[in-house]
């Protein structure tokens, strides 16, 4: 190798290690999040992103954080006004009430509904509508008295972050820590370049090929380690060299991080839709639906006093019990199918995004840091080792190039 080639090689070392630092950090981040599912030949030959692989454990951590440190579910449910909930859902139930009531009467006798005077038909429909509203109010009040047996919030959070929903947990880290992950990626080049300057001096005096993979390991390890440290430390703003003020990037963005985290929780995890689905299809769904059905049946019995003379005159009283169960079923199903009408009201009333964001913003730095970092902190060392391994591979490839 002539003198010019040696000089070019020497000058290229900082840039080469800058590239090594960047590519190792970039790959390490990609391997942290992807693939979402195990790729390769299980159980050992392949890879799954660190966060997707730990989704169950991370999901459990977030269940604790969200339901015990950020939200008081009982207090939130008390914000719901049964009367306003009734007003939200009743308009969508009106046409179904009319149809079900007509079917109820005609199932006893095809001409029964028409035989009932118009003024009595209107009174029947008005009472069923009013009683349907009362049922909605009763369900809300029952929730407020005993929320734990009706709504498993912990289950909602866990299911929305694990299994088929593992991508949400990845999106959460990427959106909440987006700038920090970009910093890790970009800082790889800066730290790698600076370490490359040291390697340049070392190579000038000791041009030994075997040092390249060793230096690759050091660069890959240190670039990831320094980047993570600069994200989370120091917790409080600190002055260095009497002039430069610095605080961990994640802590410095506490307000923005809190808002992003709260938005994801309120829209993708504890959204009104997910809450209603848990109520209607979760652990207490059978009991809740049965309660609604029983209440409707009770109201139908009350209304029977109005129609009893006509039913008796038709000689069809024997069919009443069957028809009563049918209308109870119809109106129960209608209430469930139209429960989505409450989504907007629940969202506006609970204001989960605002509640979570405010609590997180007011947290002391150490407590705030643990909300996201504690979920994957034990895997940070694995992330650093990935960087070191990739650095070794790049360093070894330099031997072949040289």
Residue range 198-219: average pLDDT?
77
More confident residue, 36 or 332: 36
Residue 360 has pLDDT above 80, yes or no: yes
* Interior/surface letters 108-146, b for 16+ CB within 10 angstroms, e for the rest: bbeebbeebeeeebeebbebbbebbbebbbebbeebeee
Please give the model's pTM, rounded to 2 decimal places: 0.75
393 by Cβ neighbours in 10 Å (0-12 / 13-18 / 19+) ranks as middle
Residue 317 has pLDDT above 60, yes or no: no
> Residue for token digits 């902190």?
377
Q: How far is CA 158 from the centre of its chain?
A: 9
Examine residue 63 and say whether the peptide bond preceding it is cis (omega within 30 degrees of 0). no
pLDDT score of 354: 92
Q: What percent of the chain has pLDDT over 90?
A: 4
Instruction: Please write the tens of the pLDDT for every residue from 35-90.
Output: 888 888 877 788 888 888 888 888 888 888 888 888 888 888 888 888 888 787 77
Residue 193 has pLDDT above 80, yes or no: yes
């Amino acid at each position: 190798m002539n003198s010019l080639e040696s000089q070019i090689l020497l000058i290229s070392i900082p840039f080469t290690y800058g590239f090594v630092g960047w590519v190792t950090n970039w790959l390490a981040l990609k391997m942290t999040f992807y693939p979402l599912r195990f790729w390769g030949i299980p159980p050992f030959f392949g890879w799954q992103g660190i966060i997707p692989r730990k989704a169950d454990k991370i999901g459990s951590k977030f269940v604790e954080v969200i339901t015990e440190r950020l939200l008081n579910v009982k207090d939130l449910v008390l914000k719901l006004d049964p009367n306003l909930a009734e007003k939200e859902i009743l308009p969508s139930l009106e046409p179904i009430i009319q149809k079900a009531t007509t079917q109820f009467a005609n199932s006893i006798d095809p001409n029964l509904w028409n035989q009932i005077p118009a003024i009595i038909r209107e009174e029947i429909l008005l009472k069923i509508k009013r009683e349907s509203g009362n049922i909605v109010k009763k369900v809300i009040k029952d929730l407020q008295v005993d929320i734990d047996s009706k709504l498993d919030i912990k289950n909602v959070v866990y299911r929305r972050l694990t299994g088929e929903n593992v991508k949400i947990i990845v999106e959460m880290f990427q959106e909440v820590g987006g700038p920090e992950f970009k910093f890790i990626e970009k800082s790889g080049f800066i730290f790698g370049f600076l370490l490359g300057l040291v390697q340049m001096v070392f190579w000038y005096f000791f041009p030994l090929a075997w040092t390249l993979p060793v230096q690759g390991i050091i660069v890959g390890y240190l670039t990831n380690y320094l980047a993570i440290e600069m994200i989370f430390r120091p917790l409080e703003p600190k002055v260095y060299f009497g002039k430069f003020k610095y605080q961990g990037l994640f802590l410095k963005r506490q307000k923005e991080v809190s808002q992003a985290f709260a938005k994801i929780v309120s829209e993708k995890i504890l959204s009104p839709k997910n809450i209603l689905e848990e109520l209607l299809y979760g652990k207490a769904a059978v009991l809740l639906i049965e309660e609604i059905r029983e209440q409707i049946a009770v109201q139908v019995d009350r209304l029977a006093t109005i129609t009893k003379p006509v039913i008796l005159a038709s000689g069809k009283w024997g069919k009443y019990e069957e028809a009563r169960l049918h209308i109870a079923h119809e109106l129960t199903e209608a209430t469930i199918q139209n429960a989505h009408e409450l989504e907007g009201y629940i969202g506006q009333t609970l204001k989960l995004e605002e509640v979570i964001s405010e609590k997180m913003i007011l947290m002391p730095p150490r407590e705030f840091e643990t909300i996201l970092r504690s979920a994957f902190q034990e895997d940070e060392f694995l992330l650093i080792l990935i960087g070191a391994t990739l650095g070794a591979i790049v360093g070894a490839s330099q031997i072949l190039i040289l």
